[in-house]
Amino acid sequence: MTQGHDALLLRNVGVLVTCDPDLGEGPLGLIKDAAVLCRSGRIEFAGPATDLPQLTGQEPITLDLDGHIVTPGLIDCHTHLVYAGDRLDDFEARLRGDSYGAVSERGGGILSTVAATRAASDELLLDLAEARIEHMVAGGVTTIEVKSG
């Protein structure tokens, strides 16, 4: 929340994805025309806007989502964030039909990123990992488990 506020209200939610079929339509528990109220870092209400309880206490920061969707945060339980280099050339070669063996014989493949990672400074690796985390968060990922290597 922002300075002086401990509540956030999301109004005009087009579809709220609850991931609980008992709470809404279908296996994802979809609720149309929903609202979400968060207070002190916890979800206090998530459901049909018509069921939103009377607000008490400090006025929440209110965001009109203009019919957009709200989903739970995504969890990436297997990610490799700490590396240098890229495999764009490998990807393009594979799209052209080259085998992984052919890519590897030309110096590509996993060994190319291993070499780039070994050559990179700790500071560079940290900067790259932080940028990747920011990109993931912007895409809705809230939890990651980082693999080594």
Tokens of 127: 């900067």
Q: How far apart are CA 119 and CA 57, in angstroms?
A: 56
Q: Give me the numbers of helices (H) and strands (E) for the chain, helices first please.
A: 4, 7
Residues 68 and 56 in one domain: yes
Domain that holds residue 40: 7-72
pLDDT tens digit sequence for 18-33:
999 999 999 999 999 9
Q: What is the pLDDT along the chain (149 residues), one digit of tens a residue?
A: 455 568 999 999 999 999 999 999 999 999 999 999 999 889 999 999 999 999 888 889 999 999 999 999 999 999 999 999 999 999 999 999 999 899 989 888 888 999 999 999 999 999 999 999 999 999 889 999 998 76
Residue 2 maps to a domain: no
Total domains in the chain come to 2
**3 state SS of 19:** coil
CATH code where residue 28 lies: 2.30.40.10
Taking only the tens place, the pLDDT of each residue in 51-73 is 999 988 888 999 999 999 999 99
What would the 3-class secondary structure string for 11-74 be? EEEEEEECCCCCCCECCCCEEEEEEEEEECCEEEEEEEHHHCCCCCCCCCEEEECCCCEECCCE
Residue that the structure tokens 């992984």 belong to: 100
What 3-state class would DSSP assign to 68?
coil
User: Are 38 and 53 in a shared domain?
Assistant: yes
Same domain, 106 and 46: no
17 and 65 inside one domain: yes
CA-nearest of 75, 78, 77, 79 to 19 is: 75
79 and 139, same structural domain? yes
- Given 27, 52, 72, the domain boundary residue is 72
Structure-block tokens of residue 10 = 């999301």
